[in-house]
Amino acid sequence: MKESNGEGIKEKKLVKNLKDLFEDRKPRSLKKVFVHVNLGTKKFQEIWKEWWQSEVPPRLEVDMIPVFEDLNELLIPGIEVKFFKGVSRRFCEGLQQALSFGLFGFDSLVLWHIFSEDIANKEIEGFARPTKKLIEGFNLPVIYFATKLIEKDKFEFFAPLEIYSSQPQDVGYLLTWLKNSCHGKRNPLLEREEVLRSKKLLKLKLEIPI
């Protein structure tokens, strides 16, 4: 089902709010957070064309890019965020976008489903469990998070593990789990020289030292 413009606006606002929350309460390992990064801008197109002699694939925007310090290196995952206000979306929504990030040199590829507090846990399970089984069954190089957002700054987890019967967890817990998950599951395309070049382009775009 095609999402309405209103849903898209709410999703963008949520991502911006999460960025502010992360930066306000960030752990020491989180260096910076970028949101709504458009890899199809004129400047990025020019750099990409110089390296690849081709155009950037169209309509490529990354919802969130947190930059972590990890074992004296920088860990740069690309995150596709999908917000579920109701239950009209598909269970695997956003998976192909997350996979496409692999060509652009992200260290890890993340799909994050965020569910409204108004959605019942049983309904969330109906989205999270098959999405997780699909990713694991095909051994896809995607880290899947499914959370219910509680009061704007707390999270109940339905993936990678189900942790929602006790007290909701704070943003520090979420960020630590996210970083550890990314450390343990890397983008396999980084073994290719052309994707390592893309990573250099990505760092130039974000003004991160190469």
How sure is the predictor about 26, in pLDDT bands with cuts at 50, 70 and 90? Answer: confident
- Answer yes or no: is pLDDT of 47 > 80: no
pTM value is 0.91
Q: What is the chain's mean pLDDT, rounded?
A: 89
In this predicted model, which residue has the larger pLDDT, 25 or 64? 64
Q: What is the pLDDT of residue 1?
A: 40
The answer to whether 159 and 146 have CB atoms below 8 angstroms apart is yes
Q: What is the CA radius of gyration of the chain?
A: 17
In this predicted model, which residue has the larger pLDDT, 26 or 44? 26
Mean pLDDT within 63-92: 92
- Answer yes or no: is pLDDT of 58 > 60: no
Look at 20-24, 45-49, 130-134, 185-189 and tell me which has the smallest mean pLDDT: 45-49
Q: What is the pLDDT of residues 163-210, one digit of tens each?
A: 887 789 999 999 999 999 999 999 999 999 888 988 988 998 899 987
- Answer yes or no: is pLDDT of 119 > 90: yes
Q: What is the pLDDT of residues 129-167, one digit of tens each?
A: 999 999 999 999 999 999 999 998 999 999 999 988 778
B/e letters for 158-193, b = 16+ CB within 10 Å, e = fewer, are: bbbebbbeeebbebeebbebbbebbeebbbebbeee
